[in-house]
Structure 1
Amino acid sequence: MKELNTLIALHEYTDSFVEFFGWYEDAAETILTAFNILHKNKICHRDLKPQNVLVASISPIKIKLADFSIAKSTSPNASRMRTMIGTGNYMAPEVLGLSTYRKAGRSYTQAVDMWAMGVLTHELYTGTIPFSEAGYGSGVESGDEETPGNFHNYSTNNGDSTYYSANTSFNVRLNSPELVEYCKKEGGTVFPVAALTEANAPHSLLDFIESLLYPDPLNRLPASRALEHPWIIGAKA
């Protein structure tokens, strides 16, 4: 909201600042299409958030995915993805070391993009993120991706939007009790729907978001199937 209010305050100075044009109903489908293309080309974005979804044109509305500074190849000959990297509340459980999938020693996959898509969709509809009582505590992670050692934590005053780079210490972890409990039972704990219910979200949207925010990445909707979900199909109708 701080960033949004700043952009609104500076809307007259288009020569120096990017413009904010608001939220658009087809954002979810457009981002899913972009992810589908990325994933087919064996690329994982790893940092989906509102700041990286840009409006290219208003009429017709065209939305583009931006910022590939921490994108990663997922081709068989690329190094495995293990680094805790991304932006706080949009990072998937397996990136944070919270899922049994990751604790079994596996690296994470393109499914982390789909978790971020679920968080963003929830935010677009309700103005809030799920598991929003998150705080930052200690944990232990390890990995062998690009830059082990010499870690630095780049953070803002708002812990919820802390940005983790490939140089981030593995001794930092998102530590939301609600998220930890949700991931511990791999979906056995009911997904928090209070904000969506209050926003009168249809059942198809609840199902869509919960399918993207499933703790086990193996059961999370991939982009190709998410594009065929009833909520996306209904939004296009």
Structure 2
Amino acid sequence: MEYVECGDLSQYITDRKKALAGAKTITRQILEGLVILHGEGICHRDLKPQNILVASRIPLHIKIADFGTSKRAENTVLRTMLGTPAYSAPELTASSMSQFTNALDIWSLGILVHEVLTSKRPFFDQAAYDEDSGKISGVVSSSTTKPLTQANSPLLFGYYYGNIEFPVDDLVTSGASPEAICFVRGLLAANPEDRPAALEAFKDVWLHIDHPECTRMDDWLKSLESELSVLGIDLKLKED
């Protein structure tokens, strides 16, 4: 097992300057991992800062970890409600849906990116949720965090049911650009079918506007598609 000595993302983003400076790099690298995972038919189902390890600070290099709740959905469907409540998509508990998709990971990424940009999670009472305590798993014991409900997260479910607009105040206050706000808003679309696939999100203008590392994005995508094709993964087919 690889030892990652720089801790996890929850520790890294406590330094606001580092968090803001690395926001695009963090987001791109997570999406690179999701492109591959989702291309293999795997949904992580518990993306959060504690499950993103910092392999290197300079240059910033991160790795997705803790695949204990992950599931390959190629020959089955995602039915079980799993995940850390504060990062879990609302359709897990607010709808009559019996099957879920990789859009669960996209929602979790949206919460994570919002947190990187603002140091806050949208919709949630910060004191009510402890990301280090329990996970949604059907029945939740008294020793774990309560699952999301309309009672303990009225903002989230008001948004989910279309009663309130997406809250942008924290993003605006933090100085997030219009492109960043649009990006986060897209990841956190209430309808899971409206959220972008990982590859589509990776191509978003916010992640490469005025960013030297991404001036050759098309070349990177072609290279990634070529590498995955060797593994028998048709990236374009998976993401269309």
1:64 match: secondary structure: strand
Identify the range of structure 1 (81-90 vs 109-118) with the bigger mean alpha-carbon deviation: 81-90
Q: Does 1:159 pair with 2:129?
A: yes
The answer to whether the 8 Å contact 1:54/1:63 transfers is yes
Q: Does 1:91 pair with 2:57?
A: no
Partner of 1:19: 6
Q: Work out the CA distance in 1 between the residues paired with 2:56 and 2:4.
A: 16
Partner of 2:225: none
Q: Identity of counterpart residues, as a percentage?
A: 35
The verdict on how the C-alpha distance between 1:62 and 1:18 changes in structure 2, with shifts beyond 3 A counting, is: closer
Partner of 1:114: 106
State the Cα deviation string for residues 207-229 of structure 1 (Å, max 9, x = none).
Answer: 00000001111111111100111
How large is the Cα RMSD of the aligned pairs?
Answer: 2.5
Unmatched tracts of structure 2, length 5 or more: 13-18, 213-240
Partner of 2:167: 192
Unmatched tracts of structure 1, length 5 or more: 1-15, 136-157
Tell me the CA shift for residue 58 of structure 1.
Answer: 3.1
TM-score normalised over the length of structure 2: 0.72
The verdict on how the C-alpha distance between 1:196 and 1:221 changes in structure 2, with shifts beyond 3 A counting, is: same
Q: Work out the CA distance in 1 between the residues paired with 2:187 and 2:117.
A: 15
Aligned residue identity for 1:212? L
Total equivalences in the alignment: 191
Q: Does 1:47 pair with 2:46?
A: yes
Q: Work out the CA distance in 2 between the residues paired with 1:19 and 1:106.
A: 39
Q: Would you identify which runs of 4 or more consecutive aligned residues in structure 1 move more than 3 Å?
A: 16-21, 165-170
Q: Work out the CA distance in 2 between the residues paired with 1:213 and 1:127.
A: 17
Q: Work out the CA distance in 1 between the residues paired with 2:178 and 2:138.
A: 40
Tell me the CA shift for residue 190 of structure 1.
Answer: 1.1
Partner of 2:156: 179
1:190 match: secondary structure: coil
State the Cα deviation string for residues 96-148 of structure 1 (Å, max 9, x = none).
Answer: x224xxx2x4401110000000000000010000012278xxxxxxxxxxxxx
More strand by share: 1
2:94 match: secondary structure: coil
Aligned residue identity for 1:196? L
The answer to whether the 8 Å contact 2:78/2:101 transfers is yes
The verdict on how the C-alpha distance between 1:134 and 1:215 changes in structure 2, with shifts beyond 3 A counting, is: farther
Aligned residue identity for 1:217? P
Partner of 1:61: 60
Q: Work out the CA distance in 2 between the residues paired with 1:83 and 1:201.
A: 35
TM-score normalised over the length of structure 1: 0.73
The answer to whether the 8 Å contact 2:6/2:53 transfers is no
The verdict on how the C-alpha distance between 1:18 and 1:108 changes in structure 2, with shifts beyond 3 A counting, is: same
Partner of 1:231: 206
Q: Work out the CA distance in 1 between the residues paired with 2:98 and 2:148.
A: 19
Q: Does 1:132 pair with 2:124?
A: yes
The verdict on how the C-alpha distance between 1:49 and 1:124 changes in structure 2, with shifts beyond 3 A counting, is: same
